[in-house]
Structures are given as structure tokens and as C-alpha cells.
Amino acid sequence: MLTRKQKELLNYIQNFQSKSGVTPSYEEMKSALRLKSKSGIHRLVIALEERGFVKRLAHKARALEVIKDGISNIKVSEQNKKNLVIGNFKNSIGEESNNKLSTLPLLGKIAAGTPIEAIQQNDTSVDVPKEMMPIGESYALSVEGDSMINEGIHDGDTVLIKKTNIADNGDIIVALIDDHEATLKRIRKKGQSIALESANPIYETRILSAHRVKIQGKLIGLLRKY
């Protein structure tokens, strides 16, 4: 039996993962549940874990797997978790599985750490469930580095990016700095300055003049292989 707040948090995590492909941060959970501190979220997560509704993934900061939903108390199906972790899509009905996939170009590596040279086009592609495909042009990038680890984005993951040059404060974006450095960061805009925030305390926030930063797209999903 869950309390009202426990159920509210569980539903929020499940909906967030379904839409964005990543687990919400404690700050996002705190805002969604209108709590004053992240310690309250920490206690709710522990309570959900003790009751078997979520599981914290080992060695993955703030990465949660929803095991049971808060209504029917049954295990969440693999389809409901499709945006969080993608493994092998092949099954005994190969043709049916292929019909559910789309292909995105894998353009190269994106730094989740110190910016690397700008993304270069190549002819590699990656299969993505059609349900994860947004309207409009999209592409995939391989993550290199751990600066976004507290958002559940790890070295070696593949991120799915919707191509756009517009982003809201708080979006995780592909930023092109000075036309030659590409990086994956959370964006904050204030006046003529842009802050590119990491989700790992060992990396500093970079504050740059707005004219130095071009938005190349924003995060819409995440693929991971184990």
C-alpha cells in the first residue's frame, strides 16, 4: 500500500521515463511534488524501493527502474520501459520486430565531459523503436564521458536528439561552442549569457556569451546496451 505522495512520485517517474527516456533528477522530482527539499524525495524513493516498486541500478547515479506500477501493483512491461534501456530487439518473429523499428543516422560522438571536436557526419545508423521517434528530423550520438551521469546518461550510451535550434531553460541539448566543440549539457539562459551545466559535481558549469553557442538539438531518448 502506497501513500498519496509515494504514488504521486512513482507515477511521475514512470511518465517522465516514458516521455524523455531518462530518469528525472531529484531536483525535478522535488519541483513536481512541490516539496521544499530533496531529502523528502530521497525518503520517498527509499520507501518505494523497500516496497518493491522501484530498483536503484547499481553504479548508476539516480538511475531508477520502475518494477511495479502504483495502480495494479503488477510488473511494468518491457514496452513501458522502452525509452530507458534498449537491448536486443530481435525475437522469434523477426519481421514483426523489424516493422516496429526505424533507423536514425549515428553521426558520431558527443562529449559528456570536456567538449570534443564538432560532430562529423558518417554512414553509420542505429535502430530505434518507432514509438520513440518524434515529428521532425532526428539523429543519434554516442556519449563519451560522465558529466551527465546524475541524469542517468553514461559513457557509451547512445542519445537520441531531435534537431532544433530552440531550447527552453533546463533542456538537455547538443551545444556547438565556437563552431568546433560539441558537448551534451543542460542549458540555462540569462540575458546575453548561456550556462552549460553538467550533472556531475566534478565538472564546472561553463558560462559563455550567447553568440558563442549554437543549439544543434535536444535530448529525446536514450539507448543502452548491457
Predicted confidence at residue 100, as pLDDT, reads 66
Residue ranges per domain, the chain?
Answer: 4-81, 94-223
Share of the chain above pLDDT 90, in %: 23
In angstroms, rounded to a whole number, what is the distance separating the alpha carbons of residues 97 and 10?
A: 30
What CATH homologous superfamily does 94-223 map to?
Answer: Umud Fragment, subunit A (2.10.109.10)
Per-residue pLDDT band for 116 (boundaries 50, 70, 90) equals low
Average pLDDT (126-131) is 76
Output the CATH code of domain 4-81.
Answer: 1.10.10.10
- DSSP-derived secondary structure letter, 199: S
pLDDT of residue 54: 84
Helical (H) or strand (E) element with 81: none
124: left (phi over 0), alpha (psi -120 to 50) or beta: beta
Among 134, 216, 132, CA closest to 182: 216
d(CA 112, CA 86): 20
Torsion from C-alpha of 117, 216, 204, 168, nearest 10 degrees: 180
Catalytic residues: 147, 185
Query: Please, what is the Cα angle at 216 between 214 and 218, to 5 degrees?
Result: 120
Element at 135 (helix H, strand E): none
Structural contact between residues 189 and 183, judged by C-beta atoms closer than 8 angstroms: no
Question: What pLDDT sits at residue 60?
Answer: 54
Please give the pLDDT value at position 94: 45
94-223 and 4-81 share a CATH fold = no
What are the tens digits of pLDDT across the range 141-198? Answer: 889 889 999 999 999 898 988 889 999 999 999 999 998 888 999 999 999 999 999 9
At 100, is the secondary structure helix, strand, or coil? coil
Beta bridge partners of 68: 75
- Please state the rounded mean pLDDT for residues 102-129: 72
